[in-house]
Structure 1
Amino acid sequence: MNILTEKFNTPYHAAPFTGIKNEDFLPAFKELIKQSEDEINAIVSNPETPTFENVIEALAYSGEQLDVVSNIFFNLNSAETSDEIQKIAQEVSPLLTEYSSKISQNEVLFNKIRKVYDEKEKYHLNEEQEMLLNETYKGFVRSGALLNKEDKEKLQKINMELSVKSLQFGQNVLASTNAYFKHITNKEELAGIPEAILDQYAEEAKERELEGWVVTLQYPSYIPFITYAENRELRKEIALASGKKSFDGGEFDNQELIKELLQLKQQKAELLGYKNYAEYVLEERMAKSPVKVFDFLNELLTKAKPYADKEIEELRALAKADGIDELQSYDHIFYAEKLRKQKYDFNDEELKPYFPLNQVQDAVFGLAGKLFGLRFVERNDIPKYHEDVKVYEVFDSAQNDGVKEEQFKALLYVDYFPRKGKRAGAWMTSYKNQYKKDGENSRPHISIVCNFSKPTKDTPSLLTFQEVTTLFHEFGHALHGMMADTQYPNLSGTSVKWDFVELPSQFLENFCYEPEFLKTFAKHYKTGEVLPDEKIEKIEQSKNFMEGYQTMRQLGFGLLDMNYHTKVGELANESVKAFEDKYTKVTSLYPVNPETAMSPSFSHIFQGGYSAGYYSYKWAEVLDADAFQYFKETGIFNPETAAKYKVLLSSGGTKDPMELYKSFRGSEPKVESLLKRAFG
């Protein structure tokens, strides 16, 4: 018996992590793919006339256990991977791609879908059913259903190669990140670094059975070093090591892989009748076209550039006083922190004691309670994949005929600390989608994964203010998943247009800057003292500190992404580095370093789902600035406004996102809301 192919005998049928063995995965995938194919064959061979129920709905509910096991496996591959899991991933990915291609290219199935689509008027579908039908039909067309047999085979081969190569890209970045560490034995070289960070470095050294201190390229280690280390040469060395990830010509180099991935995407787009991959992607986004995205990014570039130039001039003046004639990119964070301290009289390290992780988590849970009536209860009997993980039951207080009832809403997993088998960064993910079937509302299982500093023997995990906003960001995504209340799993939670998906996450970050809310949880972990008013004021004032620089940086990523996916032909004759330098020149604020390139570790677009979509972070900033402006106008805890926003969160992909937004706000979002927030 394979634990993964049976109904999970756990509370809420949660993933049975403690009972899963790595050798279970491959046979489970093979068995579940076969079961799912049988479900599809039952739809295909059904002799009855094709209807919405026996084709579209049946397809939407098929493959449920396969989806769950896929989520379990690929989430482990990101959060708790090993050489064995990575090897299994290389075998599993082509199997899943082949399975998915078989479905999308099944002519009989597509003909049934097309018949229902062509006759949809006769079914009197509600809004969500119509959305499911339209998305299903479009999904098949965009997956090659209208291609001839030879082109379908070509597309299947391209999709297989893309799945394997994008997986390899991520594995290379992780291996390259883990391969580097800097061992320091002379404490004088660590001048400027706060004691709490030194303790962290000493702990890392001890784990490696070394004397002294060890700095790695994991964010909780790397960022404090380049922020506080006074030793410029060491800062440079470690910053360059980070900038060389998968770009050093070694076994984990991604440069050729980038060219191969982009070429495959271009071939896929052309095969499906699009000029380039960006056109193919953006047809299914709010932005609709590459031209609109370029116009959007360039409009923001024009507005942000003067602010960014002014900010860098301030940093140059500071550096000049230290005898540095030419400020470099590896100096930026160090001097930005100096300037911030000078202007606002605080730094991240002195704020950290006021932001112990448990208090910040309580605050974000409390905010979800105040706005949406959610309550969180830790469960110790639900299996976990690592001892650091915690699991919470989430309940929703609902009013039924004036009687307050609590209903189970979701399971929430939180995994906060870095380790060797976990990729860098922070993300929200799902183990199980929400959907309704046979009178039951099957609730979602959601996860947040971060990389915050681990607690030490004497100190709890203390967050920088940026990490506080990171937790709120990921929790915003988690709310989108937990609040889901749709009929079909493929329209549920975060299954929305990609340039809409960052609205809930970025929206929630705004609360971190609200004094009345900050005071409820920013308390010193030893004394219980509330963060002083003058510090809160400084946080508020510093909200837009280096906003010009940050905007230029994000625009640089967005423009590079769009150029990669619209001008792939140019890469045939030039290096990844040359291409990157050419298309980031307009947003670059420092001299280009010939030794580094960010593209080979740009996982968002070469491993994740942001290909031709990185612009969506800025796009969603317009949405979140406008949405929070509405909350400010009505009161940030206004129950009516929160109730309208709850509808937006719970609706998932059942409506066009612009219509959904207008139902909440009463009007389309205005770019002026973002510009006002960013630059006053």
Structure 2
Amino acid sequence: MLAKTTKDVLRKAVKPPFRFRGCLYAKREAATHLATSTSLSNVPVPASADDAAIIDDLDKPYSSYPSSPLSPTGLFRHRLLTSPREFKVLAEATQRRAEILTERIVRAGESREELYKVVKNLDRLSDMLCGVIDLAELIRNTHPDASWVQHAESVYDQLCQFMNVLNTHVGLYEVLRIVLSDPDVVKSLSTEARETALIFWRDFEKSGVNLPPSQRDRFVSLSSEILSIGREFLMEASKARPPARIRPSELRGLKDTGMGTRLRLQATATQRDLLVYPGSLQAQMIMTSAPEEEPRRKLYMAANSSSEEQVHTLERLLRARGDLARLVGKDSFAHMALADKMAKSPENVRYFLDALMDHTRPYARRALRALSLRKQAHLNTPPFPTIQAWDRDYYCPPEPPAPPVSLPPLTLGTVFMGLSRLFRNLYGVTLRLSDVASGEVWHSDVRKLEVVDEKDGTLGWIYADLFARRGKPSGAAHYTVRCSRRTDDDDEAGDNAFIRNDGDRHAVEIARSFDSAHRARIPGQEGMYQPPVVVLVCEFTRPSPRSGPTILAWHEVLTLFHEMGHAMHSMIGRTEYQNVSGTRCATDFVELPSILMEHFLNSPTVLSLFDINGNPIRQAANHHEDPCRSIDTHTQILLAALDQIYHSPAVMHEDFDSTAALARLYETRGLIPYVPGTSWQTQFGHLFGYGATYYSYLFDRAIASRVWRNIFSHDPLNRDTGERFKSEVLRHGGAKDPWKMVSALLNAPAMASGDAEAMAEVGRWKIEDEVSNSARH
């Protein structure tokens, strides 16, 4: 999903961590290539008629007619979702149905037959609530109609609060305890079912279900308070910072570009100070091009300032999380949050970050010395002047990412065609345009892609909302609207015994109608499945008759490949339980498939897929190495370390000061000095969405780099290799220990334990050859 720089605000508000609430979403290694084919597969499968249709549709000018709110076809073809008011009705019906199923689960101890169904019913309970919550999350972020957004906010709050209650439901916990202590019942569970049961068990205990009633109530209220403060923090983080006052004399020497000339003329004509807002085009121009240091310093100070209120909001959030952790007997929120992640503990995260820091620091210091030499030559100073924070972009101007070879302009349709061809070569899976009924989507821009497996048929659907529009949030995101799971063994008839009246019966009928949409029987597999539905949201330029098709910049191509990595994880991750389906896996594992997708863009063989005629890429090399990439990676490590500090026991000390903690970190481990008077942490939006897990992106970058180099790089279209990644990683979602998946994939048995040394070993893996240093989530 998520965001291209550390200053991006996380748009997708995070649900509470338990599965009822969380609906989102090697020490020794054999350096051997794992492809089993005896010949390379550099000749890609030819483009198909479906590929050509994708280009034709996505590259033509779009119509702009609004969807009819009165259409008999509702959102995602749910007949119940033709108006925002009906969405609220659906939420009420779903909660009532969930209450009925909760009663059935709680009373399972009265019937031995029911005990065998508890894990399945818990997963059903989670799925029926997540299906509505996830839809509400999408609508409140993307729907252009304010009424829909308002109702979605209400639905989201209502059902998240209900999930907070379920999280501390003693009756559910006690029944699960009976199940897990019964040898016969446990023996009857599949490996996936046992993993799902343990996920529920851990999440119950994480939520303080063993606490006395008053403390359980406190847990629920604290959880709601954290969500509320978190939203406040994100809103404040996204606010524009006050402008810097730049004197005309400080713009001397600004480059003779269009923007630079206009700024100088404006300053000269008015003979008054210019007010320049951080983040504006004028500010970017000054930071990269102003020879005078003072205007850059002023803008840096303005961009990294915070009000006392903003700092207070962040520290309230951190202390509330600390209170929550202590309530359930944990030393800190990081200890609480990491127990079910690959890292397992804050100590193991430190092993990883320390090893990565040791690996990165020498490269970053060399790059910093090169900048110092540039500053010395520019200002004619004694040797090696200090590089300040406002010097970074001037002496090493950020360069947009570029492809490894020269390419013709890439249209949006061409890139989607290339993605489809890549998936067909690797996995036997293609993308196919699907008709959209009136009322099925929230805007006429949205296109529907059917994901088709050559053996199993339709896997699921991707709804693509690709173009920028007024009021639509910026950035790119992947939303899981519906997870895959098996449904033919749901035993919904067993719920009927707990229906008390006609009102219950009507509510169940409404909620079941919503659940049953789009179910399908998969050829060659036993049972009926709920196919996954995901939404891809981007902000590309719309094609038009005047300008022609959308041409993607290279960073946009990288973003699209990244987000489609998440989408294919959701599509291929077919499991019987939705709690472990696709991207419903550990936070520090979920980015691996998406980051790996970016690596494929390093290969000329893969880039040839963008040519529908199959012509090989023969152009001269165009790739350049960013000399400051290691500095940026070092900064990312510091931010991950800051995240750990902010979620450590230190935050509970009376004298805790988030700004002082930031300053100490930069003074002790930083390369570029901390600037007194700044407090950038209030703009660190990921502190809410990725609290205590911000290291995850660096962690998955390291693993993805190793997977690419050892498995894919020499023959990126090899079907055997693709099938191995599909079967070892993508298919399992969160149903298998990710350390075991990585260990098997890399033929590195020492990594399977996922201990402290395994974390440190990942930190020692090279990641500087990453295709992009930006963080896309």
- Asked if the contact 1:50–1:112 (Cα under 8 Å) also holds between the matched residues in 2, the reply is no
Task: Tell me the secondary structure at the aligned position of residue 432 of structure 2.
Answer: strand
Q: 1:320 deviation in Å?
A: 4.5
Q: 1:432 deviation in Å?
A: 0.7
1:124-203 to 2 correspondences below 5 Å: 124-174=188-238, 176-177=239-240
Q: 1:565 deviation in Å?
A: 0.6
Residue of structure 1 equivalent to 2:700? 620
Structure 2 unmatched ranges of 5 or more: 1-71, 246-250, 263-274, 489-526, 752-757, 771-777
Count of aligned pairs between the two proteins: 626
Q: 1:605 deviation in Å?
A: 2.2
Q: Distance in 2 between matches of 1:190 and 1:486?
A: 62
1:23-422 to 2 correspondences below 5 Å: 23-46=85-108, 47-49=110-112, 51-62=114-125, 64-80=127-143, 91-92=154-155, 94-122=157-185, 123-174=187-238, 176-177=239-240, 242-244=303-305, 247-248=306-307, 254-323=310-379, 327-337=387-397, 354-382=409-437, 383-398=440-455, 407-419=457-469, 421-422=471-472
- Asked if the contact 1:484–1:649 (Cα under 8 Å) also holds between the matched residues in 2, the reply is yes
- Asked if the contact 1:430–1:445 (Cα under 8 Å) also holds between the matched residues in 2, the reply is yes
Residue of structure 2 equivalent to 1:517? 606
**Paired residue for 1:658, among 729, 739, 763?**
739
Q: Distance in 1 between matches of 2:104 and 2:472?
A: 40
**Paired residue for 1:433, among 483, 495, 502?**
483
Distance change in 2, residues 1:309/1:679 (3 Å): farther
Residue of structure 2 equivalent to 1:458? 547
Q: Distance in 1 between matches of 2:215 and 2:93?
A: 29
After superposition, give the CA deviation of every residue in 1:179-233 in whole Å (9 maximum; x if it has no partner).
9999xxxxx99986989x99xx9xxxxxxxxxxxx999789x7997578666877
Q: Give the structure with the higher percent helix.
A: 1
One-letter amino acid of the counterpart of residue 548, structure 1: S
Task: Tell me the secondary structure at the aligned position of residue 534 of structure 1.
Answer: coil
Task: Tell me the secondary structure at the aligned position of residue 369 of structure 2.
Answer: helix
Residue of structure 1 equivalent to 2:665? 583
- Asked if the contact 2:355–2:763 (Cα under 8 Å) also holds between the matched residues in 1, the reply is no
One-letter amino acid of the counterpart of residue 140, structure 2: N
Deviates more, 1:626-635 or 1:615-624: 626-635
One-letter amino acid of the counterpart of residue 111, structure 2: E
Task: Tell me the secondary structure at the aligned position of residue 534 of structure 2.
Answer: strand
- Asked if the contact 1:634–1:641 (Cα under 8 Å) also holds between the matched residues in 2, the reply is no
Residue of structure 1 equivalent to 2:574? 485
Distance change in 2, residues 1:435/1:167 (3 Å): same
Q: 1:571 deviation in Å?
A: 6.4
Q: 1:547 deviation in Å?
A: 3.3
Residue of structure 2 equivalent to 1:185? none
One-letter amino acid of the counterpart of residue 768, structure 2: A
- Asked if the contact 1:365–1:375 (Cα under 8 Å) also holds between the matched residues in 2, the reply is yes
- Is structure 2 residue 549 aligned with structure 1 residue 549? no
Q: 1:601 deviation in Å?
A: 2.2
Q: Distance in 2 between matches of 1:225 and 1:579?
A: 31
Q: Distance in 2 between matches of 1:189 and 1:281?
A: 51
- Asked if the contact 2:705–2:769 (Cα under 8 Å) also holds between the matched residues in 1, the reply is no
One-letter amino acid of the counterpart of residue 216, structure 2: K
Q: 1:359 deviation in Å?
A: 2.8
One-letter amino acid of the counterpart of residue 563, structure 1: I
- Asked if the contact 1:262–1:568 (Cα under 8 Å) also holds between the matched residues in 2, the reply is no
- Asked if the contact 1:354–1:531 (Cα under 8 Å) also holds between the matched residues in 2, the reply is no
- Asked if the contact 2:666–2:674 (Cα under 8 Å) also holds between the matched residues in 1, the reply is no
Distance change in 2, residues 1:433/1:15 (3 Å): farther
Q: Distance in 2 between matches of 1:461 and 1:313?
A: 41
Q: 1:408 deviation in Å?
A: 0.8
Distance change in 2, residues 1:144/1:328 (3 Å): same
Structure 1 unmatched ranges of 5 or more: 1-7, 183-187, 202-213, 399-405
One-letter amino acid of the counterpart of residue 699, structure 2: W
1:587-602 to 2 correspondences below 5 Å: 587-594=669-676, 596-602=678-684
Distance change in 2, residues 1:52/1:642 (3 Å): farther
Q: Distance in 1 between matches of 2:540 and 2:302?
A: 21
Residue of structure 2 equivalent to 1:206? none
Structure with larger RCO (C-alpha < 8 A, sep 6+): 2
Q: Distance in 1 between matches of 2:333 and 2:143?
A: 32
Residue of structure 2 equivalent to 1:559? 641
Q: Distance in 2 between matches of 1:223 and 1:654?
A: 48
Task: Tell me the secondary structure at the aligned position of residue 636 of structure 1.
Answer: coil
Q: 1:308 deviation in Å?
A: 0.6
Deviates more, 1:444-453 or 1:298-307: 444-453
After superposition, give the CA deviation of every residue in 1:550-592 in whole Å (9 maximum; x if it has no partner).
2212101110000111144366425432222222444533343
After superposition, give the CA deviation of every residue in 1:452-492 in whole Å (9 maximum; x if it has no partner).
45668536544443333222222211111111210011110
After superposition, give the CA deviation of every residue in 1:94-137 in whole Å (9 maximum; x if it has no partner).
53343113222222222111100111444332211111122122
One-letter amino acid of the counterpart of residue 204, structure 2: F
Q: Distance in 2 between matches of 1:55 and 1:189?
A: 73
One-letter amino acid of the counterpart of residue 666, structure 1: N
Q: Distance in 2 between matches of 1:328 and 1:451?
A: 34
- Is structure 2 residue 563 aligned with structure 1 residue 508? no
Deviates more, 1:437-446 or 1:417-426: 417-426
Task: Tell me the secondary structure at the aligned position of residue 43 of structure 1.
Answer: helix
Q: 1:529 deviation in Å?
A: 11
Identity over aligned residues, as a percent?
23
Give TM-score, length-normalised by structure 2: 0.71
One-letter amino acid of the counterpart of residue 39, structure 1: L
Task: Tell me the secondary structure at the aligned position of residue 573 of structure 1.
Answer: coil
- Asked if the contact 1:561–1:613 (Cα under 8 Å) also holds between the matched residues in 2, the reply is yes
Q: 1:397 deviation in Å?
A: 1.0
Deviates more, 1:303-312 or 1:77-86: 77-86
Deviates more, 1:664-673 or 1:641-650: 664-673
Residue of structure 2 equivalent to 1:401? none
